[in-house]
Structure 1
Amino acid sequence: MLITGGAGFIGSHVIDELVKNDFQVVSVDNYITGFKSNLSDAVKAYTMDLNDPKLESVFINEQPDYVIHLAAQASVMASMNNPQFDFFTNTVGTVNVMVLSKKYHVKKFLFASTAAVYGEPEYLPIDEKHSINSQSFYALSKHSAENYIRHYSQFKGLDSCILRFSNVYGPRQNENGEAGVISIFINRLLGEEKVSIYDGGQTRDFVYVKDVAFACRLALGVKAKGIYNVSSCSETTIEELYYKISNLSGLHAMPIFEPKRFGEIEKSVLNNIRVKDELQWFTQYSLSEGLQETLQYYMQKKSNEKVSI
């Protein structure tokens, strides 16, 4: 089993899920946003970029049966500032991993995509048949990669599957990178820093990272074909989220409400019926349970305790 981006936030949890279920796992990561400390000792790790010609040697040496491609440039802002880097990482890098997967007879190629490809919703909840209206170079690069995978699978016979994640949160999310709002709120509260909420009425669909890892494992099965939304299928306003975190942590600070940022989507929630019906996936964590584990992680990290979540 080869995981790209294995030392990252989502990748490290996917590896934990796979190791727990007796898979032998190899990680490839360039450590721009990932950390070696996220990796299990049971994992063989390569330090490498997706577009490094030496990546082929990993396929030759390891002969993976499965590839889960999670490595990406995931910052919307970075994509708008540097679309070339975004394109070469997310689209060209994906094509490179995909072609090598076919060349070395990988049984299933799994690609991590994003709800961002849908853009402004035409209806809610958004299902997999919803039109695509990418509103950032990040979303565009991810959808371009999806199209390459879809056509390559059709023309070359690669068994592939695409998972579109909603707003993933949980332990190990890099608060210094393209952090999710949950990571930002928790770290601001723990650091006794100012918390800004931009309007707060926007809704998002938050899914816990361990539930995402569970979906990745299930998607390795032969029945997994095409595109699946992976989400909680539940709307939570940003203001409600903040007060839920505040109450769970016992840290109470009045946030500063500011105007909604330009271009921000008002409402977002993904329909998850297909992944539930076809892969028998289900969310194992409620929002409160996931937030509690996430809070525990960051509180232990702040106090320099050993973190094991």
Structure 2
Amino acid sequence: MKVLVTGGAGFIGSHIVDQLIARGDQVAIVDNISTGKETQIHPQASFYKMDLTSPGLLEVLEREKPEAVIHQAAQIHVNTSVLDPVFDANVNILGTIRLLEASRQTGVKKVVYASSAAVYGDPQYLPIDEQHPVQPLSGYGISKYTPEHYLSVYHHLYGLEYTILRYANVYGLRQDPRGEGGVISIFIDKVINDQPLTIFGDGEQTRDYIYVEDVAKANLAATAAGEGEVLNIGTGVSTSLNEVVRLFNDISGKENAVQYGPERSGDIKHSYFNNEKACSVLNWKPAVSFTEGLRKTYEYYCHEYRKMDK
């Protein structure tokens, strides 16, 4: 299969590209390298340094003629969506529309779209399933949800197939603690540098942490399954920040200092997914436990930091 991956030089996208090429697919990447890295581009993939909002996007799809598009590129920061909602909407909404237009004009059969747990807002019940009400609490949540409607419309009008994957908290190798970093990569950076870990609130807030390679596998499965579906991609396991700290202490072999601060207004206390539908529809399940994934990620960053010190 010929697949185009937007954001294919980024944290999640680069893992998807690696797995596609290992599967034997031909892959093209579109990435503006705003958060991605050229060092993460697979040497066997075609690469186009380009923004989603560029008029040249159509030319890339005309040249590559992909059968499927896996759409990972996005503005990913909640704070940015609050401070600059026009930029957030331009990338996440208008950029996706431009991609869908190019896809329909060049005969793309399927789009796999990376959405987010942020579309649900403050959970009304747990675990969150796909029937949970959608009530975003930020511009980011809105800008990730809006393209879901466009995908449905493009299917209705033009027959473009799609699968929507709503991600839980993704962590793992290549996540930049100083750029797109989630709490896991930020904590690892602090642990390696012997700096205190900062927790806002009592540390009992919980999240669903899923390893990046498992997320990539779900994307590959979705290229051939789940037409018209919205699927939660998580582990179905709830883990508190205090438990994350305890695991870091075990893995690093040191007692990491923790600084507790006041709760941040707007933060969600508890969130984790029901992933049964994704497991059934995609014939997929997360294979890496949180302890194993955390250990792999910590060891990876220890190795990377040692290389930087040389």
Q: TM-score, normalised by structure 2?
A: 0.96
Q: Which residue in 1 is equivalent to 2:247?
A: 244
Task: Give the secondary-structure state (helix, strand or coil) at the position aligned to 2:35.
Answer: coil
> Partner letter of residue 132 of structure 2?
H
Q: Which residue in 2 is equivalent to 1:215?
A: 218
Out of 250, 254, 258, which is 2:257 matched to?
Answer: 254
Q: Distance in 2 between matches of 1:274 and 1:253?
A: 38
> Partner letter of residue 131 of structure 1?
P
- What's the CA shift string for 1:133-173, capped at 9, x where partnerless? 10010011011111111122122211111000000000100
Q: Distance in 2 between matches of 1:212 and 1:222?
A: 15
Task: Give the secondary-structure state (helix, strand or coil) at the position aligned to 1:183.
Answer: helix
> C-alpha displacement at 1:225, in angstroms?
2.7
Q: Distance in 1 between matches of 2:265 and 2:64?
A: 46
Out of 206, 210, 223, which is 2:209 matched to?
Answer: 206
> C-alpha displacement at 1:20, in angstroms?
1.0
Q: Which residue in 1 is equivalent to 2:116?
A: 114
Q: Which residue in 2 is equivalent to 1:145?
A: 147
Out of 157, 163, 166, which is 1:164 matched to?
Answer: 166
> C-alpha displacement at 1:224, in angstroms?
3.4
Closer, same or farther: CA 106–168 of 1 in aligned 2, 3 Å:
same
Matches within 5 A, 1:1-309: 1-199=3-201, 200-304=203-307
- Aligned residues of 2:10 and 2:37 also touching (Cα < 8 A): yes
Task: Give the secondary-structure state (helix, strand or coil) at the position aligned to 2:80.
Answer: helix
> Partner letter of residue 90 of structure 1?
N
Closer, same or farther: CA 148–119 of 1 in aligned 2, 3 Å:
same
> C-alpha displacement at 1:222, in angstroms?
4.2
Closer, same or farther: CA 142–223 of 1 in aligned 2, 3 Å:
closer
Provide the identity percentage.
40
> Partner letter of residue 125 of structure 1?
P
Q: Please identify, of 35-44 and 242-251, the stretch whose mean Cα deviation from structure 2 is larger.
A: 242-251
Q: Distance in 1 between matches of 2:95 and 2:145?
A: 13
Closer, same or farther: CA 223–178 of 1 in aligned 2, 3 Å:
closer
Q: Please identify, of 190-199 and 29-38, the stretch whose mean Cα deviation from structure 2 is larger.
A: 190-199
Q: TM-score, normalised by structure 1?
A: 0.97
- Aligned residues of 2:97 and 2:150 also touching (Cα < 8 A): yes
> C-alpha displacement at 1:283, in angstroms?
0.8
> Partner letter of residue 191 of structure 2?
L
Task: Give the secondary-structure state (helix, strand or coil) at the position aligned to 1:182.
Answer: helix
Following TM superposition, the consecutive aligned residue runs of length 4 or more in structure 1 with deviations greater than 3 angstroms are none
Task: Give the secondary-structure state (helix, strand or coil) at the position aligned to 2:307.
Answer: coil
Q: Please identify, of 170-179 and 88-97, the stretch whose mean Cα deviation from structure 2 is larger.
A: 170-179
- What's the CA shift string for 1:226-246, capped at 9, x where partnerless? 200000010000111122122
> Partner letter of residue 173 of structure 1?
Q
- Aligned residues of 2:163 and 2:226 also touching (Cα < 8 A): no
- Aligned residues of 1:224 and 1:278 also touching (Cα < 8 A): no
> C-alpha displacement at 1:37, in angstroms?
0.6
Q: Which runs of 5 or more structure 1 residues have no equivalent in the other structure?
A: none
Provide the aligned length of Structure 1 versus Structure 2. 306
- Aligned residues of 1:173 and 1:183 also touching (Cα < 8 A): yes
Task: Give the secondary-structure state (helix, strand or coil) at the position aligned to 2:279.
Answer: helix
- Aligned residues of 2:152 and 2:228 also touching (Cα < 8 A): no
> C-alpha displacement at 1:3, in angstroms?
0.3
Q: Which runs of 5 or more structure 2 residues have no equivalent in the other structure?
A: none
Task: Give the secondary-structure state (helix, strand or coil) at the position aligned to 2:148.
Answer: helix
Q: Distance in 1 between matches of 2:226 and 2:163?
A: 10
Q: Distance in 1 between matches of 2:141 and 2:226?
A: 27
Task: Give the secondary-structure state (helix, strand or coil) at the position aligned to 1:25.
Answer: strand
Task: Give the secondary-structure state (helix, strand or coil) at the position aligned to 2:18.
Answer: helix
